[in-house]
Amino acid sequence: MATEPQSPVRAAISAEHLVRRFGGFTAVNDVTFRVEKGEIFGFLGPNGSGKTTVIKMLTGLLPLSGGSAHVEGLDVRTDSEAVRERIGYMSQNFSLYYDLTVEENLKFYGRIYSLEPARLKRRMEEIIQLNGLGPYLKRLAAQLSGGWKQRLALGCAMLHEPQLLFLDEPTAGIDPVARRQLWDLLFELSGHGITFFVTTHYMDEAERCSHVAYIYYGKLIADGTPDSLRQLPEVQPDGTRRVEFTAPEVTRALRLARGIPGIRSATIFGQSVHALVDENLSLDGLRRELAENGIAVDEIRPLAPSLEDVFVELTYKQESLLEAASD
């Protein structure tokens, strides 16, 4: 082990050249990434791009067609049962038994992981404390609101003190307050060294992750911290920069802005326009340029690319590569 530069034992997850084929279709194509302990790893991608397949491979549910993967230092190909012993998993539909009470749901998962009675009791108290489930113990899971269902599901998934938790779209369909509370909880737990593997469609959630990866039709096209991704040359091509300006008639402003030489791309964000422009075009120069075209700009300022910008740019690039390959 000592001879290997990147020992798989150290990482929470280490996936190397993962491949999964279904017949002639390659759902996951040569995916390599590494998640360190204590990270909140955001795994993003459109529906059907292979996110769930990757999770299934990492949890030992799907055999690998190629490559290798270690979870908590264990080879998923040979030790999938020990892997499942050490991880927690929460699916997007919270997978609770609605006709069981909160307490019974917790007890059931405790038994599934064969917790001894004393440990189960202690863990249940800790979970109830942490998630604030106390007042609802005797209530049927069906009667909980979305946010509370999600807390209960999270509680069930971490009853056996896993060091790594897979959360598959944990915030889909719950209210904003519950969403924020969940993230606060994730930060707190991650402070205790627990690793999270989170899939999401929310860009603001991706921004909160310490490490994000983007999968697009089976290929991993981005992998790094949100900041390092923003610095990618593909996202910020040489000789360009991003600006944001606000204007009264934002849709008309966008249409006109797209016709101005020096503006490479532009899109609307709320009441403002985000644009990728030539670097030698100064802010004042741009304001003049826009005014000449009849756009009275209220405010104009430089802008760092958002993760959404990053994924959009990378997706365009990937698509053009695919098109070139198919021609």
Partner 1 sequence: MTNVFRGCGAVFYKEVLHVRRDFATLFFSLIIPILQMTLLGYGIDTNIRQINTVVFNADGRRESRELIDRLKNSDTFHVMRHVQNDRDLNDMIVSGRARVGIKIPVDYSDRLLHQMSAQVLVLIDGSDSSVAGPAINVTTAIGLDESLRRVLPSGASFAVDMRPKLMFNPDSRSPNFFLPGLTAILLLNVTTFLTSFSIVREKERGTLEQLFVTPVRPMGLLLGKLLPYLGIGFFELSMILGFMRFVFRVPIHGNVLLLAFLSLPYLFVSLSLGILISSKANTQAEAMQLAFLTILPSVFFSGYIFPRETIPAVLYPISYFIPATYFINIARGIILRGAGLVHLWADGLALFVLGTVLLILAARRFHNKVIMA
Number of C-beta neighbours around residue 297 at 10 A = 19
| Amino acid letter, 145 | S
Measured from the CB atom, is 61 or 303 closer to partner 1?
61
Measured from the CB atom, is 104 or 234 closer to partner 1?
104
Mapped onto helix, strand or coil, the DSSP state of residue 273 is strand
| Amino acid letter, 29 | N
Least distance between partner 1 and beta carbon 216 (Å) = 23
Least distance between partner 1 and beta carbon 88 (Å) = 8
Q: Which residues bind partner 1 (CB under 8 A)?
A: 59, 61-63, 81-82, 84-85, 87, 89, 91, 93-100, 104, 107-109, 111-114, 166
95: which DSSP letter? T
Least distance between partner 1 and beta carbon 315 (Å) = 28
Measured from the CB atom, is 166 or 196 closer to partner 1?
166
Number of C-beta neighbours around residue 48 at 10 A = 11
Measured from the CB atom, is 108 or 202 closer to partner 1?
108
| Amino acid letter, 170 | P
Measured from the CB atom, is 149 or 219 closer to partner 1?
149
Number of C-beta neighbours around residue 118 at 10 A = 8
Least distance between partner 1 and beta carbon 239 (Å) = 48
Q: Which residues contact 214 (CB under 8 A, 6 or more apart)?
A: 44, 45, 220, 221, 222, 223, 310, 311, 314
Measured from the CB atom, is 87 or 314 closer to partner 1?
87
Measured from the CB atom, is 91 or 315 closer to partner 1?
91
Alpha helices, DSSP H, located in 244-292? 250-257, 283-292
Q: Which residues contact 92 (CB under 8 A, 6 or more apart)?
A: 168, 169, 170, 172
Q: What is the radius of gyration, based on Cα positions, of the chain? A: 23
Structure tokens at 200: 């999401």
Least distance between partner 1 and beta carbon 139 (Å) = 13
Least distance between partner 1 and beta carbon 312 (Å) = 31
Q: Which residues contact 312 (CB under 8 A, 6 or more apart)?
A: none
Least distance between partner 1 and beta carbon 64 (Å) = 12
Q: Residue 224 in contact with residue 55, Cβ under 8 Å?
A: no
